[in-house]
């Protein structure tokens, strides 16, 4: 089963994903894509860490997400990826232009055939103000295209708003 949970900042998407992973009854591996580039991000990461059950495995992978998924996906496992937009940000802001396309394409290619329960968290960045700068517009476009592609692959898509879950696809 492939599941996408999408929402804005602080919408409750990570908590919902964690609840779904816990309720899966499977061994859970949490794949974290964030990097603590500043104090505020370090605090956010610590908040996420404090909520996770101690028995969950952790893989920190900011760039090579397809590799992490292939290495850890198994029929008896639930992989929770939090989050795709932070991963995308790492790629968009990276040094190599081609790396974004290569990593995104590899991820989208392997996703449909991964075994087990895969829960993907992503941010909906296109429902707000149109970004003014070139980099932020590029990121918003890339995130929108990535989210559309992942949603098409997933069996279930849920939008979170104000801590409430709205099923979009089942």
- Which of the residues 20, 27, 48, 117 is marked catalytic? 48
Residues 97-129 as b/e (b if ≥16 CB within 10 A, e otherwise) read: eeebeebbebbeeebeebebbbbbbbbbbeeee
Q: Is 14 annotated in some ligand binding site?
A: yes
Q: Is 8 annotated in some ligand binding site?
A: yes
Q: Is 60 annotated in some ligand binding site?
A: yes
Q: Where are the alpha helices (DSSP H) in 73-128?
A: 84-92, 97-110
Q: Is 11 annotated in some ligand binding site?
A: yes
Nearest to 44 by CA among 74, 70, 14: 14
48 is catalytic: yes
Q: Is 7 annotated in some ligand binding site?
A: yes
Which residues carry out catalysis? Answer: 48
Pick out the residues of the known binding site: 7-14, 32-34, 60, 82
Binding residues for GTP: 7-14, 32-34, 60, 82
């Amino acid at each position: 089963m492939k599941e996408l949970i999408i929402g804005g900042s602080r919408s409750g998407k990570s908590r919902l994903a964690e609840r779904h992973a816990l309720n899966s009854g499977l061994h859970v591996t949490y794949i974290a894509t964030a990097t603590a580039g500043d104090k505020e991000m370090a605090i956010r990461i610590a908040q996420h860490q404090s909520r996770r059950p101690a028995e969950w495995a952790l893989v920190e992978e900011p760039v090579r997400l397809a590799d992490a998924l292939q290495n850890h996906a198994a029929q008896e496992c639930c992989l929770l990826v939090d989050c795709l937009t932070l991963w995308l940000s790492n790629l968009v802001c990276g040094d190599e232009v081609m790396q974004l396309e290569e990593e995104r394409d590899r991820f989208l290619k392997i996703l449909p055939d991964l075994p087990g329960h895969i829960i993907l968290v992503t941010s909906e960045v296109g429902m707000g103000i149109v970004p003014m700068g070139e980099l932020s517009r590029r990121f918003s476009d890339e995130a929108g295209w990535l989210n559309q592609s992942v949603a098409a692959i997933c069996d279930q898509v849920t939008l979170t708003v104000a801590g409430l879950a709205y099923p979009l696809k089942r």
